[in-house]
């Protein structure tokens, strides 16, 4: 493999050797996916933090704030996403050992559980409508729809990335790790949202 000498060699007494892949503009330099993940997760977290703050503030204004009972199916949603995080981690570790066939099976199982999570969120919406909590009629119910809907949308994005890892041409270890970390991030984010919904209710 061809190698190049870093410009840092001019400023230090040690020669820093970098892979020649950095010369190829068609290849991503190491760490690119990780930086993108951190940027994405920080943006998503800031957005949801603002929503939670607005939710708590609005709950203190009682007029036009009708209490909404947390649908029990959200407990199932929480269990599913926790399990999916575990199955993804198993698949990620199998991939790190070079056992791609078994890793892909666990990753596909993760996607299946993720789909079940989204289905359970849709079921929760039906339970909300049974209570008479519609999107525009009750601010309390509106936050439920916003929290669950936006989180489910981000999870679907994670499922798309997961399928790309399994069936796409790029199966780099960094990409698998990044998608796994994103999935774990969504799990933690859901736990925070669910705790907020339970506390306010």
pLDDT for 134 equals 63
Nearest to 194 by CA among 131, 135, 137, 151: 151
Collapse the DSSP code of 71 into the 3-class scheme (helix H, G, I; strand E, B; otherwise coil) and give the result.
Answer: coil
Q: Is the torsion defined by CA of 175, 179, 182, 187 positive or negative?
A: negative
Assess contact for 120 and 76: CB atoms under 8 A: yes
Rg, C-alpha atoms of the chain? 22
Architecture per CATH, 32-200: Up-down Bundle (1.20)
Determine the pLDDT at residue 26: 52
Residue percentage of the chain with pLDDT more than 70: 78
Mean pLDDT on 3-26: 49
Stretch 133-152: mean pLDDT: 77
User: Residue 82 has what pLDDT?
Assistant: 97
At residue 22, the pLDDT reads 47
pTM of the model: 0.78
**H-type helices in the chain, by residue range?**
32-59, 73-96, 100-130, 139-167, 173-200
The pLDDT tens digits for 81-103 are: 999 999 999 999 999 888 888 99
| Domain locations along the chain | 1-30, 32-200
């Amino acid at each position: 493999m061809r190698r190049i000498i870093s410009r840092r060699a001019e400023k230090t007494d040690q020669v820093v050797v970098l892979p020649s892949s950095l010369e190829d503009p068609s290849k991503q330099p190491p760490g690119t996916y990780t930086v993108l993940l951190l940027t994405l997760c920080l943006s998503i977290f800031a957005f949801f933090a603002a929503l939670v703050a607005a939710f708590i503030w609005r709950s203190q204004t009682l007029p036009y704030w009708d209490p909404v009972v947390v649908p029990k199916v959200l407990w199932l949603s929480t269990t599913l996403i926790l399990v999916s995080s575990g199955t993804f981690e198993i698949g990620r570790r199998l991939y790190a050992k070079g056992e791609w066939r078994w890793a892909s099976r666990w990753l596909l199982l993760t996607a299946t559980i993720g789909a079940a999570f989204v289905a359970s969120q849709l079921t929760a919406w039906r339970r909300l409508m049974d209570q008479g909590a519609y999107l525009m009629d009750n601010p309390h119910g509106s936050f439920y729809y916003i929290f669950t809907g936006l989180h489910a949308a981000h999870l679907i994005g994670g499922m798309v990335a997961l399928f790309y890892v399994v069936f796409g041409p790029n199966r780099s270890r960094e990409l698998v790790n990044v998608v796994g970390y994103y999935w774990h991030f969504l799990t933690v984010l859901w736990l925070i949202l669910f705790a907020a919904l339970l506390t306010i209710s």
